[in-house]
Amino acid sequence: MRFTKMHGLGNDYIFLNCLEGGPADLPGLARRLSDRHFGVGGDGIICVCPSDRADFKMRMFNADGSEGAMCGNGIRCFGKYVWDKGLADSAHLTIETLAGERDLSLMLRERRVYAAVVDMGVPAVGQPLELAAGGMRWTAVPVSMGNPHAVVEADDPAALDLAALGPEMECAPAFPRGVNVEFIRVLNRRELQMRVWERGSGETLACGTGACACVAAMASAGKLEREAVVRLAGGDLTVRWDEKSGHMFMTGPAATVFDGELAD
């Protein structure tokens, strides 16, 4: 079975072509391949599957084997994968996900994809609530981007011990199915800093849906413009929240690391 390792701002996934069928135990395969010491290494696996209502269907499994509804960095890489492998002949794609259909516009350089713009849909911003972690109380803004997020403002996200705080917040009683947690600092009206603890994967270098959730939360609170740059450990994403349609558009890079073949 051949695979391709890809990443969007360091948020890395192992891509499998499942258009003609795939492995039976995808959760188990995700756990095995994601191991950075005994496997390929990644934040999870993404399967390219057929769809009866879109160009392709994306299935994403986190490093712990749980299936995710949507992945912003992963879907940009998905678009690059199907284009570079000759599976798509249009730079405009519709991808079916568990969070609904998402439209992609691929950005090309010498006929190869280097970035993509993704219509991330309409965010649902909830009322602030309190979470307990690390012996402290934190104010979090719940946001759904088709998957759940908790946006937490912090004076210095880089100084936080996410390995201690992340697991507590991910499993907070307010989120019985778990939650992705973003720790952020608004730098100015068009820029924010973000660290993320992803449900099922732990701390990652970037999270596309999380970046959109942060812009939605802060723009709703009047602390940020509707278009902003989100600065993550792996690089920058640009997020624009269209006032007329209510849709969020995320722009960011996608890169191939290497192709490989599994021995068994």
Catalytic positions are: 71, 207
- CA distance linking residue 187 with residue 181, whole number of Å: 19
CB 106 within 8 A of CB 121: no
CB-based contact 210:196 (threshold 8 Å):
yes
Q: Which of 66, 69, 65 is nearest to 57 (CA)?
A: 69
For tokens 């290494």, name the residue: 41
Task: Compute φ and ψ for 258, nearest 5 degrees.
Answer: -170, 160
Q: Could you give the count of Cα atoms lying within 13 Å of 193 in the half-sphere of its Cβ? A: 10
Q: Read off the tokens for 28.
A: 């188990």
For residue 167, which phi and psi values (nearest 5 degrees)? -60, -35
Phi, psi dihedrals of residue 78, rounded to the nearest 5°: -55, -45
Amino acid symbol at 95:
I
Q: Judge contact between 143 and 114, C-beta under 8 A.
A: no
Helix (H) / strand (E) containing 236: strand 235-241
Establish how many alpha carbons lie within 13 A of residue 149's alpha carbon, considering only the half-sphere containing its beta carbon. Answer: 31
